[in-house]
Amino acid sequence: MSATTKTKALSGPDIAARKGQTPLVCLTAYTTPMARLVDKYCDVVLVGDSVGMVLHGLPSTVGVTLDMMILHGQAVRRGVERALMVVDMPFGSYEASPDQAFQNAARLMTETGCAAVKLEGGVHMAETIGFLTARGIPVMGHVGLTPQAVNTFGGYSVQGRGEAGDRVMDEARAVADAGAFSVVLEKIPEPLARQITSEFSIPTIGIGASPACDGQILVVDDMLGLFSGFRPKFVKRYAELATSAEAAIGAYSQDVTERRFPAPEHVFGDVSNGADQGTQS
């Protein structure tokens, strides 16, 4: 492959075609450096509205704006070549009407270069999903625990236990029938996620759901351990970067206060006498 050849990015239909095959690998990303890291390994890179909590310190995703999603979507776009890039539609940007959803989804796609959008909700969003897909906007659905509805749920509890499982099943069915190319199943009982995966033709992407799902997604900062005290049950920590980062920052602080940094190799001499050993101007 020549240096100028670019990898063809995955599309919504590519993801849909993976139903029942090798599980889809999905992670969030909010910045260019992280997008470059995850793109090599992921089939889907989601610019999630979780950015509001992860990077902006908001108490929930409800306060995330369309401008925030566009800003982070543009950053991620610069780092993604292979994976399907999906951007979350934030709270208040699509619920009022299919027309509102189309205007804002079109803006997301044109200003970020993403290939699909994700929105939360099932039965009540089916008309909107159909409206968007009929107009050239691929949609990833999201049912179960939908974080934008945290105030309705009264927290982040498991959804779909007991008789409530019928509601989640109906939500997933509505998303699939409306034309979404995949659906996220968040924080629902494992047997229910397994049943939805087996009964519907679109890929399911689990987060706190089931290993039987057609793919899995996590917030990358969670699985890297960038939050020292936050350990959701459904997250496996693959690193503890908060611990190592804090140790590094502490070592830097000590070096500065004890005048060990900068050392001679970190400073520039007088160019006129040939003493400058720096490599950058």
What is the total residue count of the chain? Answer: 281
Work out the mean pLDDT of the chain and round it to a whole number: 94
Mean pLDDT across the stretch 131-160? 96
| CB count in 10 Å sphere of residue 252 | 12
| pLDDT of the residue at 6 | 63
DSSP assignment of 122-167 equals SGGGHHHHHHHHHTT--EEEEEES-GGGHHHHTSS-----TTHHHH
pTM to 2 decimal places: 0.93
Burial class of residue 219 (count of CB atoms within 10 Å of its CB; 0-12, 13-18, 19+): buried
Q: Which domains does the chain have, with CATH numbers?
A: 12-239 (3.20.20.60), 243-273 (no CATH)
Confidence check: pLDDT of 271 > 90: no
Share of the chain above pLDDT 90, in %: 90
Binding-site residues for 3-methyl-2-oxobutanoate, in ranges, read 49-50, 88, 118
pLDDT at 272: 61
> Can you give the pLDDT at residue 273?
54
For residues 29-50, give the mean pLDDT: 98
Could you tell me which residues are annotated as the binding site for Mg(2+)? 49, 88, 120
pLDDT digits (tens, 9 = 90+) for 140-152: 999 999 999 999 9
Whole-number pLDDT of residue 2: 44
User: Taking the chain, what is the end-to-end CA distance rounded to the nearest angstrom?
Assistant: 35
**pLDDT tens-digit profile of 194-209?**
999 999 999 999 999 9
Q: Are 193 and 182 in contact (CB under 8 A)?
A: no
pLDDT (tens digit per residue) in 47-102: 999 999 999 999 999 999 999 999 999 999 999 999 999 999 999 999 999 999 99
- 17 alpha-carbon distance from chain centroid: 21
231 band by pLDDT with thresholds 50, 70 and 90? confident
Whole-number pLDDT of residue 270: 84
The pLDDT tens digits for 100-122 are 999 999 999 999 999 999 999 99
Residue type, 273: N
Active-site amino acid positions: 186
Residue 14 has pLDDT above 80, yes or no: yes
Separation of alpha carbons 123 and 247, rounded Å: 48
